Amino acid sequence: MKRDRDTTAIFVSMSEENAVQSPNFDKLIPYDAAHLILGEYFNYYHQFKSITRRAEIRFEACDWHGLMSDARERITLYRDCVGGATEKVLILLGERAQDREVWKATFKNFSFDIKNFNTRNIAETFYNSVFRHSHQGLGADEDLMFVHATATYREFKSTEPIYHSFKSKSNLRTLLRYIAEEYSMDVPWKNLDRNLDLLEGQFIEELEERNLLGKEFRVEMLKSVFYRNKGAYIVGRLLGPKSVHPLVLPLLNGPGGIVIDALLMDDRDVSSIFSYNRSYFLVDVDIASEIVDFLHSILPTKPLSELYNSIGFEKHGKTVFYRNLLRHLAATDEKMIIAPGIKGMVMSVFTLPSFGMVFKVIKDRFAPPKDSTQEQVKEKYKIVNLHHRVGRMVDSHVFENLDLESHQLSDAVREEMQEFAPSKLLESEGKSCFTHLYVEKRMIPLNIYLEGANLTEAEEVIDEYGKAIKQMAAVNIFPGDMLLKNFGVTRLKRVVFYDYDEIGFLTDYNFRRIPEPRDEFEEMSSEPYYHVGPMDIFPEEFPRFLIGDPQIRAIFHRLHGDLYDVAFWRGMQKKLINGEIIDVFPYRDSRRLSM
């Protein structure tokens, strides 16, 4: 027995010596965090595509309200998914949530896991968003974020072409029929033969204008159809012997079926369709970088950031824009200056002379008669982002904690910020941090443009000005402050609204006629002799303050005098209240085929 007890004791002693400590798997926490964010990205991307794929069904059913609702839902989807992912990763990390080394390891694990993803660039932006939401008040951090591109992203290609290819060896009519047949839907074509007759005639004119008639060429049309508002767009390009031309076929669905409404090969028309002033397309995309490269081949002057925006990846468009801004700042000695134009009461606006954007900062306080708050102004920008912009309201990127080198600000900008928005500019150790700002495309303010315009040019943009007001009204937007200084003229001479602090929904306003004075005292009164509510609008007063120059005012009255009549506004309200969606085409009426 003694021997047995000794043997047991020896065995126990040896076991204790050779025992392996229970492993500590805390090193895997960064991997788990990276995997969690990646899983949330997959969830976001799946929902993004699911919403997008509903567009064809909506179009076939003429469910225009549903289609526009989907467009808004897809924009808010990103914010919701990033918010959910942030909450989950903070719970997972717990007290490690602000540990820099943990996030370094998380960043490294995430980078490794997405290295061969064909949507790697979009995943990087999603990670950046989650990181920024997890670290409120922090600017860009090159060690913990995808600040710079990690590749060209052109290494990712579909296993088969993303476009249908058609050669011109057959006659034009046959070629056009082949294209139409590739895009047949569950709704019939309306009088396709007649439609193709008109399309062929227009196509011949376009080929003659480009000296391509009778020559061999190839047509490549993207397989994915682009949907927005009440239209669908077949987007492609015509490749001549030495040239590339855009080729876009807008489709409409109405009584009797689907028609091809136009043939668009003019750069101006196609650029306008993909404009930063328009809402994003719903288009089914597998590899975003590949379809953006295709679009860039037909729109070479458009920044890649705008093209990402146009297909619904607005946050990655912001990433691409930011990287472009960093490259520009590194290559120039220019300083940011105050933007030309009449200073606003709500925003301080700056620009870089060689960079076609403006930077807008909400002032800390507004001078009378402005009585809105900063939060209300921010809410107006959110409304514009979600609304159908109909080519008349400029898109914008919102930046929190944008860091610049202090020497990149002019003294005038720094003085403007110190006087009007000191809380929005933090400076330390050679850095200037804008805590909140909007970045928009730079345009020529309409009032400044008119100062140097001849009568022909003035009539063109004043007509555009009236159309801008009417088209915003058609989508239930009343601009509030319609002064010329709040509108800009684009490169294509399109007039666009960009001052949002007083916009509202048209149906919320009360458009009234000025009542007749009851006696001479009321008639001679310098103050209104009638009650004016906060939402009351009197169109009869517009001629007094909209346009000062009598010659310009006369042009506007001739072209758009109906805007002075309460009947126009009430009639538009009635249509909107009845649920009517008013047609506003993103291309010129002269381009439309007459059926």
* pLDDT digit string, tens, across residues 539-592: 999 998 899 899 999 999 999 999 999 999 999 999 999 999 999 999 999 999
What is the pLDDT, as a whole number, of residue 138?
A: 82
Q: Is the pLDDT of residue 16 over 80?
A: no
The partner residues of 432 in beta bridges, in order of sequence, read 404, 427
Q: Give yes or no for residue 527 having a pLDDT over 90.
A: no
Distance CA 388, CA 51 (A): 17
Tokens of 316: 């990655």
Confidence category of residue 197, pLDDT binned at 50, 70, 90: very high
Report which DSSP code applies to 225.
Answer: P
Please give the CATH architecture assigned to the domain spanning 446-564.
Answer: Orthogonal Bundle (1.10)
CA-to-CA distance for 302 and 304, rounded, in angstroms?
6
pLDDT at 478: 97
The whole-number pLDDT of residue 156 equals 83
Please name the amino acid found at residue 409.
Answer: L
| Residues sharing a CB contact under 8 Å with residue 19, sequence separation 6 or more, in sequence order | none
Reported pTM: 0.92
Confidence of residue 21 (pLDDT cuts 50, 70, 90): low
Average pLDDT score over residue span 273-301: 96
Provide the sign of the torsion angle of the four alpha carbons 514, 520, 526, 530, taken in this order: negative
Hey, is 188 helix, strand or coil? coil
Catalytic residue among 261, 395, 499, 501: 395
Q: What is the mean pLDDT of the chain?
A: 92
Query: Is position 395 annotated as part of the catalytic site?
Result: yes
Domains of the chain: which residue ranges? 25-134, 163-314, 330-442, 446-564
Sign, Cα dihedral of 377, 438, 338, 402: positive
pLDDT bracket for residue 339 (50, 70, 90): very high
pLDDT at 10: 42
pLDDT tens digits, residue range 106-122? 999 999 999 999 999 99
Q: Do domains 330-442 and 446-564 have the same CATH topology?
A: no
Topology of domain 330-442, CATH? Phosphorylase Kinase; domain 1 (3.30.200)
